[in-house]
Structure 1
């Protein structure tokens, strides 16, 4: 209907223009010669034809902006100037034909469009109305900032471990946006993982789980982003804080297993292959991804091998924890270097709630030369010494191994027993005897003090001890040279 009215309007304007010319011609034919000459001067359109001053051009505008399309004509005379888009007439002379309030004429016949929309794109014609219309065409291109969304819209993708994950984003905008992929982490990397609407990850593992980000940009204003969350489905993974836990009657213990799984997983507890249920002394609960078995008022029947078992639709995982009253592993506190030629002060710490009943100490010399290293025979000592408690759970003991050879390398192991039995033999601890000079008898104590001191308040004492040791060694060296 609007196109029909526009055509009718153009036709009427042409008729009005032609009638005006005929009327001027009739009046000039019957008028006074002087009047005829004056009328011919103002009404004749044949001498100076209208011409466009402006030229057709391609204009670009961002959605929401305001754009002005120019149209300037010289010698317009009584010709009618129109703005149209396709067959629809927008303006005729100073008359606004379109009802869209965003369009208006400014500075003569320039067409202003406010708050431009995507649908405003196209050709706009400034036309001089005549039997054979003359046109000037402006092309308007609307630039649209990028927008992007994940596919599917909820942005969650699942893939099986070892399989392929396909991540997808769709972007819109003008010009067509480019899409880049990144791994979204606390420390954002500037290197893209890929380019294009689809990112394919092959042989995915648990390390691929997390949030990925697609970035769409087309040079129009700011880039747009969308997140895709990838969940890699796999058999559960379990880890334990400790594989051995020390306990005694009446104490309280906690066994902790940490679960890693991106799908629904059941966790259960076993003791010596028997599934456990909650009791008045035994509770099971979770805190985040940590699963905890708590036992209070501990009894001897509670000793044994425990396991936490995780099950989901893709598999089962199990971790073992031993709960024992036997002494814990031995921790050596001594320095590796003795200050003496023929003896070594061995200091170690052992975890045990009950008192220690017996200690075995085994040591041997290593036969070392330029071509081989061969251990000697073990020497075994059984000790029943009085040992002092380091804290409520640990004992500390020192023993001086004598009759050693100077400038030699030795290995030592320790095993301890309480009322629940023997612990495992310790790892090998290696130490060296000195080769020359005189060193104060208390040097072992000083070296061990350095090894055992850890608090910040002892920093200055440590520095003093180190300086003192250096002076002792320097004095011993000078004495050996002189003698």
Structure 2
């Protein structure tokens, strides 16, 4: 154990420990070693794992242009490592060339912002309704990034138990029974406290056969009147009809000046690559609306 109290024999020694340093990738790290009573002795910096001498006194021994050394009145000796790489992470030794040699260690940690990597990360997915799907997200960084899943536009994520959440943690998002409510864009967000936080957008497309909704299956109309019959259908891929929502199409049939031959049943049919479905609307005659004369009497 190093003795940080100045000795009465005026032997050189260390005045305090080397503080560990944490620096972002690409920046400059500076480790400080403070000594006393150095006299004619010299301070050297070494890389511990490779036993490489980096500096001796004011001279740089390392061949790397990224390494430098400075001092403050020969008391505090600073090891500079510029343009930090992940390989610079590790233990560094400050050494005084006494006999026996005196040394102490300091640790340099390199923090790296998160990066989402394509390998191991899902691309856009297309699945059938009621199937299962797993979205994966792989990220590198130091510390190891945390993965958060969110939906675009702050939509909630429906869970299997019927609840809904705004976010989920973990590298894999499992949806055990996909519904059309799951369709849309998902954001895989990677963060580790080192800016910037990064994200990737993954589009989930849910396919399902058409479903027809008819609000009025029985429609009455008088002769000579105009009428529009409507069916609503939900499907994906979308049928080639007019779109009024994400999955919704509206089928409209306009009837003008209704005649007796117009009364009866009408079928609306919706098809996509997964199937087809139909609905029926029955049009029946109604008496014309009663008219009132100028005296308020019904004619």
TM-score when normalising by structure 2: 0.71
Deviation at residue 307 of structure 1 after TM alignment: 2.2
Structure 1 position 156 matched with structure 2 position 124: yes
Please state whether the residue corresponding to 1:70 is helix, strand or coil: strand
Does structure 2 conserve the Cα–Cα contact (< 8 Å) formed by 1:250 and 1:296? no
Structure 1 position 233 matched with structure 2 position 207: yes
Please state whether the residue corresponding to 1:235 is helix, strand or coil: strand
Show the counterpart of 1:118.
Answer: 86
Deviation at residue 51 of structure 1 after TM alignment: 1.8
Point out the structure with the larger strand share: 2
Please state whether the residue corresponding to 2:87 is helix, strand or coil: helix
Does structure 2 conserve the Cα–Cα contact (< 8 Å) formed by 1:149 and 1:170? yes
Structure 1 position 304 matched with structure 2 position 264: yes
Show the counterpart of 1:91.
Answer: 55
Alpha carbons of structure 1 residues 397 and 257: separation in structure 2 relative to 1, 3 Å: farther
Structure 1 position 196 matched with structure 2 position 156: no
* Structure showing greater Rg: 1
Distance 1:134 1:191 in 2: 58
Gaps of 5+ in 2: 1-8, 158-163
Q: Map residues 319-338 of structure 1 onto 2, 5 A cutoff.
A: 319-324=279-284, 326-327=285-286
Higher relative contact order, chain-length normalized (CA < 8 Å, sep 6+): 2
Show the counterpart of 1:315.
Answer: 275
Deviation at residue 100 of structure 1 after TM alignment: 4.6
Gaps of 5+ in 1: 1-46, 268-284, 328-351, 357-385, 390-395, 399-483
Alpha carbons of structure 1 residues 248 and 167: separation in structure 2 relative to 1, 3 Å: same
Deviation at residue 116 of structure 1 after TM alignment: 3.0
Deviation at residue 119 of structure 1 after TM alignment: 2.8
Does structure 1 conserve the Cα–Cα contact (< 8 Å) formed by 2:212 and 2:277? yes
Alpha carbons of structure 1 residues 92 and 129: separation in structure 2 relative to 1, 3 Å: same
Structure 1 position 70 matched with structure 2 position 32: yes
Alpha carbons of structure 1 residues 148 and 245: separation in structure 2 relative to 1, 3 Å: farther
Deviation at residue 115 of structure 1 after TM alignment: 4.5
Deviation at residue 69 of structure 1 after TM alignment: 0.2
Q: Map residues 244-259 of structure 1 onto 2, 5 A cutoff.
A: 244=218, 253-259=227-233
Alpha carbons of structure 1 residues 251 and 143: separation in structure 2 relative to 1, 3 Å: same
Please state whether the residue corresponding to 1:135 is helix, strand or coil: strand
- Taking only aligned residues, the RMSD between alpha carbons, in angstroms, comes to 3.9
Show the counterpart of 1:218.
Answer: 192
Point out the structure with the larger helix share: 1
Show the counterpart of 1:128.
Answer: 96
Distance 1:226 1:172 in 2: 14
